[in-house]
Amino acid sequence: MNSDIKIMLELQEYWDNIRSSKSAIEKALESTRAAEKEIAEHTRKLNSIGNSVMELKNSVKRQELDLADMGNRIKKLEDRKMMIKTEKELHAREKEIDVIRFDIGSLEEKTLTMIDELDGVEKKYSQLEQDVRQKEIRLNDARLKFAQETSRHEEIVARNEEKFNSLIGRLSAGYKSKFLKFLNSRDGTAIARVEDEICGFCNRKIPPYLAIEASKDDRVATCSNCGKYIYK
């Protein structure tokens, strides 16, 4: 095998290691960010439900005070019944009491509905609260794991960068800039193996003479289709 090709293969291996470790770090960072965002959204929702709970509780309390107030009014009216002298007056007083009793009835109904509603909202709140807590616990675990994974991958990156940097100087100057350009492209690949006259990178057939060149020690061949360095 051509010595430049040998060097390229080794460099490509270091490069692949660097890329895969960097992408693992990025992926872990992304999933942590997504989990944080989800928790923030749930917490916002939780706070808004918490506000509804407070509002409902206050309304129920107000209505209960109103009911007590109405009860007192009826009691007062009943007490004063003793002092009434005429039939007409008594009739009017009883009518007044009936009106208040009717109001009490409808307000009681409204309050009961509200208490039911409050019950439902409180249940929803506690479910969501539990959900958020569990998510936070999971996120903390993930953060710990992420920190360990990241330092492991950072070590891999550093080790491979060191090897890469000490070897790149040995690649013949004529191939270096094209090789580095390929490595820094989106696919990060500079060299591919040829098998049965097929380029291992682009999977296209190359001319037979090129396949022979790719196997020679004194040549550095490139794919006629994708341009990557090829070897056999």
Binding region for Zn ion (CB under 5 A): 199, 201-202, 223, 225-226
Q: What are phi and psi of 98, to 5 degrees?
A: -60, -40
Tokens describing residue 10 = 């080794």
Whole-number minimum distance, CB 183 to Zn ion, in Å? 16
Using the minimum distance from each CB to Zn ion, give the nearer residue, 167 or 202: 202
Q: Is 192 helix (H, G, I), strand (E, B) or coil?
A: strand
Helix axis angle for 173-183 and 3-80, nearest 10°, is 20
Using the minimum distance from each CB to Zn ion, give the nearer residue, 9 or 115: 9
Using the minimum distance from each CB to Zn ion, give the nearer residue, 157 or 183: 183
Maximum separation of any 2 CA atoms in the chain, in Å: 130
Give CA–CA dist 136/35, Å, rounded. Answer: 9
Whole-number minimum distance, CB 207 to Zn ion, in Å? 12
- The letter for the amino acid at 220 is V
Whole-number minimum distance, CB 144 to Zn ion, in Å? 43
Give CA–CA dist 177/3, Å, rounded. Answer: 17
Provide the β-strand partners of residue 208: none
Whole-number minimum distance, CB 222 to Zn ion, in Å? 8
Provide the β-strand partners of residue 192: 230
Whole-number minimum distance, CB 33 to Zn ion, in Å? 37
Cα 24 to the center of its chain, rounded Å? 17
Using the minimum distance from each CB to Zn ion, give the nearer residue, 84 or 202: 202
Using the minimum distance from each CB to Zn ion, give the nearer residue, 215 or 225: 225
